[in-house]
Amino acid sequence: MITDAVGYIPDAVNIGVIRDGSEVILVDTGLDKGTAKEILKTLEGAGLTVKAIINTHHHADHIGGNAYIKNRTGATIYASEIEAGLIESPILEPTYLFSGAAPLQGLRNRFLLAKPSKVDHVRTVRKPASGGG
């Protein structure tokens, strides 16, 4: 932990942890179900439960554990407006990488294609007011 309330679980992509008593908010969930299981094992071992997930962006190595953790804990998932669509429909990422063509079967893997997960709260990103200072 960085402080008593904010820390991370080290992994290929570090998982942010924001603590509020015995509940935590995760910032991203790692690559897949295996990573998600390890996250929950670590947190449950410390007497903590997941109440929410904030996804920074839609890449599989950041959202791959969403579905497993949500199914196990009922955590609420938050994402920005544009990321929500890609989190809920992860087939879009390899499709846009291949200019609209369906990706080859060999590229439909956990590194490019996470399991879909429902975003519960979509946040609209507002542009800053123009005019300066």
Tens digit of pLDDT for each residue in 93-123?
777 777 767 666 666 666 667 888 889 889 8
Residues of the domain holding 50: 6-123
Q: Is residue 110 part of a domain?
A: yes
Rounded CA separation 32/45 (Å): 20
Q: What is the pTM of this model?
A: 0.82
Whether residue 48 lies inside any domain: the answer is yes
Look at residue 63 in the predicted model and tell me its pLDDT: 96
Which pLDDT value is given to residue 90?
84
Pick 126 or 59 by higher pLDDT.
59
Into how many domains does the chain fold?
1
| pLDDT tens string 29-75 | 999 999 999 999 999 999 999 999 999 999 999 999 999 999 999 99
- Pick from 26, 100, 20, 87: nearest CA to 60: 87
Other beta carbons within 10 Å of 14: 13
Domain membership flag for residue 99:
yes
Measured between alpha carbons, how far is 15 from 63 in angstroms, rounded to an integer? 11
Q: Is residue 59 part of a domain?
A: yes
- Residue 53: how many CB atoms within 10 A of its CB? 26
38 domain-assigned: yes
* CATH number of the domain to which 59 belongs: 3.60.15.10
Which pLDDT value is given to residue 110? 66
- The CA distance from 121 to 79, in Å, is 7
**Which of 107, 89, 114 has the alpha carbon at shortest distance from 29?**
114
Residue 133 domain flag: no
Q: How many C-beta atoms surround the C-beta of residue 99 within 10 A?
A: 6
pLDDT average, residue stretch 7-32: 96
- The answer as to whether 130 is a domain residue is no
Q: What integer pLDDT is reported at residue 106 of this predicted model?
A: 64
Lowest pLDDT segment from 11-20, 81-90, 101-110, 117-126: 101-110
Residue 30 belongs to some domain of the structure: yes
